[in-house]
Structure 1
Amino acid sequence: MRTKFCAILTAILGLCWSTAAFSSDEEQPEIVIYTEDYKPFYFLNSENRIDGTITNLVRELASEAGIAIDIRLRPFKRGLLAVQNMPDHCFMALWRTATREPNFSWVGPLQIDGFAFFALEDADVSVSRMSDSFQYLTGAVGGWTSTVEVQEAGHPNLVLVDDDALNLNMLKTGNTQLWLGGLLSAPYLAEQQRVRIKNVYTIQEVDLALACHPKTDPKLTSRLQAALDKHVGQTIKPAPSN
């Protein structure tokens, strides 16, 4: 009886092992993607679902590449920290600057973006070079590349916030005279709030790309890049400067 029991148990364990091995082989690889609230690229919509132009593009790329992804909305600094510490984790999306280039494995460009100084449409504000902005109270998001660059340039009157929407509110109410915002995101937010703004000085144009931990499986990022390459020319171009 004991011999029969052992034989049956061995057969069951063998079947379980085979099933587990088959499931592992068939399971799609997964990348966890952190993102922030940065309209119109990625944001939480009215149905409590992460939406946006780049979000939808990345979902399409992952589907074409046969990669299961899990997108999570977090504050910028928190999401970026998670990606910096965990392989197979990516941030959607980062400005691909020379400083950041060696720190991540990249898939891009997903979008051509950049940053500029914006003012209310009827404001008497003139900026022809970076130093001209120093005299104005300027709303900016703490930790963003744009903010760091303007800080390093010596801007003495930055008003730092955690949410870019607050910059629009401060500009609208007169608490600031300039808004350091994205070339595409700032006009989009203003339009949603029916606030007329103007681009008074474009500082830089830059690629937005999926930034992955450097030890992320290169097969995954290569497949995503290959899928993206098929979409070249379909990304939104920056809004023209005024």
Structure 2
Amino acid sequence: MSRMLITCFVLATLSYSGVASALTLTTEDYPPFNMPTDGGKVGGISTEIVQEALKRAKLDAKIELLPWERSLSMAKSQADVCVYSAVRNAEREKSFKWVGPLVADEITLFAKADSPIKISSLDDAKKYKVGAYNGDAYGDFAEKQGLKMERVVQDVQNLPKLAAGRIDLWVGGAKSGMFKAGREGFKGKIKPVFQLGDPKDSEMWLACNKGMADEVVNKLNDAVKSIVNDGTAERIGKKYQ
């Protein structure tokens, strides 16, 4: 074999190995699914499921906690990058290869705990100003239902706005909304008033760059299915209740 052919073979082998072992996973601070830990790492339900899936698939990855729009952008534009916990919707469907679902978190409208607001239908909600954040699929979903949205850069800005009466409602996940309120000092100060959409609208996935090798995506999907089927996913979720 010529030296040139040997060199090409080595480079190709290294390139393939890089696909299989040098993944980057991006995410946001979205408790209890993905969030910083006291040790400076990333934890949460989705994170633990993803880490277990990587272990079972015999893959390595680094996890970066970033603003959500940047996390999405990296997964769309950079090879070997995936983002979680991403809602799988029509707008995103063709932009990624999908692994999951990892978790679900019903789309919910929250009001202040002492608010007189009562909502029994979508039409009732349309008269109120709803807080969301940039790039959030739940906010996008609510907006498409005809709700009046007011966006911020990061979701944690919405709780003080709700408390101050600058927005009437806040759209979030049933689990994550209450968890965030407790963490940010608003425990007992918000209440769910209405649920939007079908439960499948709230399923969240690992969304991988379109250039990700199918073999890697298939390995991760098989691993996630095994995690769900053997009860590991349920045990992880209970740790955060």
- Give me the TM-score of the superposition, normalised by structure 2: 0.82
CA displacement at 1:57 relative to structure 2: 1.5
Identity %: 28
The equivalent position to 1:155 in structure 2, one of 122, 144, 147, is 147
2:33 is matched with 41
Partner of 1:166: 157
Q: Which contiguous aligned blocks of 4+ residues in structure 1 show a shift greater than 6 angstroms?
A: none
Q: Deviations over 1:69-125 (max 9, x none)?
A: 011111111111111112221111211123322321111010012311111222111
Which 5+ residue runs of structure 2 have no aligned equivalent? none
Is the contact made by 1:104 and 1:212 (CA closer than 8 Å) also made in structure 2?
yes
2:125 pairs with 1:133: yes
**1:72 partnered with 2:68:** no
Instruction: Tell me the matched-pair count.
Output: 221
* SS at 2:135 equivalent: coil
Q: Tell whether the 8 Å contact from 2:69 to 2:134 is kept in structure 1 after alignment.
A: no
SS of the equivalent of 1:135 reads coil
Q: Give the one of 99, 102, 105 matched to 1:113.
A: 105
Do 1:35 and 1:79's aligned partners in 2 also have CA atoms closer than 8 Å? yes
Q: In the alignment, what sits opposite 2:208?
A: 212
Counterpart Cα distance in 2 of 1:220 and 1:110: 17
Distance in 2 between residues matched to 1:57 and 1:112, nearest whole Å: 13
Higher mean C-alpha deviation, range 116-125 or range 147-156: 147-156
User: Which residue is 2:218 aligned to?
Assistant: 222
Change (3 A) 1:219 1:125: same
Query: What is the CA RMSD across the aligned residues, in angstroms?
Result: 2.6
- 1:199 aligned to which of 176, 189, 192: 192
Distance in 2 (alpha carbons) for counterparts of 1:76 and 1:125: 30
Query: TM-score if structure 1 supplies the norm length?
Result: 0.81
**For 1:145-184, what per-residue CA distance to the aligned partner results, in whole angstroms no more than 9, with x for missing partners?**
122222233333x221112111111122222221111122
For 2:164 and 2:38, the matched residues in 1 are separated by 26
Question: 1:172–1:195: 8 Å Cα contact kept in structure 2?
Answer: no
Aligned with 1:89 (options 76, 81, 99): 81
Unpaired runs of at least 5, structure 1: 1-12, 238-242
Instruction: Evaluate the alpha carbon distance shift between residue 172 and residue 216 of structure 1 in structure 2; reply closer, same or farther with a 3 A threshold.
Output: same
- CA drift at 1:26: 7.6
Contact 2:54 2:220 in 1 (8 A): yes
The CA deviation at 1:203 is 0.5
Find the aligned partners of 1:46 and 1:231 in 2 and give their Cα distance.
Answer: 26
Partner residue in 1 for 2:180: 189
Larger radius of gyration: 1
Letter in 2 for 1:167: N
